[in-house]
Structure 1
Amino acid sequence: MDNIQINSFERSALYEIFASLYLQIPTIDTVQGIPSILEEASKILSSIDFEPLIEEAQERSKRADGEDNTIKALQEEYYDHFFVPSTKHYIPPYESAVVEATVKNGRKNIKWKYGSLWTNSTYHVSQCYDSVGFNPWDLNIGEGLKQSKVPDHIGFQLAFMAYLCYKEAICNELIIENETNTDKEKEAAKMWKKLQKQFLEEHLQKFVLSYYEIAKDKFNPFYLQVMNAVNRYIEWDLAAIVI
């Protein structure tokens, strides 16, 4: 691990950026805006190589430049990766399905058998949300996700980490503003950081690593690089958390 330090507001923003790529249907504005957002992220956390993802995002931005049929194609790619099981790119975006996935070799290619939804880990994720008042269905998400009631979606989990980091950041801000009587805020900040570490260790770390391994076989270049960046960021963040 290097000695780069980023504050909890910045950590929250990075988790939120990644969450949005799984939770929001691509639009012309978001497709054209994401390259500059990722470039700023790379400046905040220079120890992670965002360049492959930035290059893929720039290519998508060029494709979406004023062409309605192109943005529709990018939206179709999004659905193919996360909503339509019959497509070759689809991987179920749920921890319970992915962590328990097994592989078997078919005649022409690798075939994946996914685990069942609503395992013990799914219920534990839901309990983690409830314990701090996080409701993933209050997020800015598409109708398809609103109708799905499975809480261990990768986008929800990344958004939850953004929420935990933001809560810690607020406590740290109060500590700076109030030079006295900061013990309560310090204890609260420590609690939020502890929750982050626990959630990464118990859920997101193994989930994202498993997802990335399958994505190498299934995803197109853009979404593969998204998974790569998410995997690298979680690896970095978990190592950087000191309680």
Structure 2
Amino acid sequence: MAAPVIEARDLVTEIGGRRIHDGLDLRIERGELMAIAGSSGSGKTVLIRALTLLLPIAGGEIRLFDAPVTGLNRAGERRLRRRMALMFQRGALFTGMTVLENVMMPLAEHTRLPLGLRREIARVKIRLAGLEPDAAHRYPGELSGGMTKRAALARALALDPELLFLDEPTAGLDPVSAAAFDSLIRELRDLLGLTVVVVTHDVDSLWEIADSIAFIGEGRVLARGDAATLAESDEPAVRAYFSGTRMRRGRERSWETA
């Protein structure tokens, strides 16, 4: 069996002295689209920060691409970060830069490509994210919510990552824009051979796009499976989350569009 892209074993994380995860285990296979779900405060975003090397872990082990991340020097971390990308919840675009300049920034920071080639690569990523060419010359303040998400996605794709993390990618979008973004993520996963990890509260996203869902609670992964399986979980917190009214409606919508 091929090694997983992500493997966390007995993971412990802490923020300000407060323990967030305690003995968390998680395995994500190459090419998988995994959703991370859980109630507010369960540590979903903290987990993403740990997996992307933005937060030192307090215990346990993380392996990325079958290599331990503990003890990496700065050069090793830099090489590893080039293989993955994170799209932040609010996009985190630089407001004083155009979309094109935002997408070019990782290329300028991590490569020695000439300016003209960086510009052409950025234009390709912008189109790949579903934006029209003229969006390249707009500033973030001139974009709609959906366009902002796509611009942030284009920047995340700039360095051709193998592993893509998305933190609440459809938060704040209307249902039509959210559904279109979900479809885009699946298309890009298949087209580019990505492994994708999505943190989301979006009911429709959980039903529509995830190959598997890891539900976090009590500092660990309480259950894993598709939404239908988790709705029948033996864990009361998991079953309550996935069998609520909003989840049932999401399930009905997924059947209607199947």
Give your verdict on TM over 0.5.
no
Name the structure with the higher strand share: 2
Name the structure with the higher helix share: 1
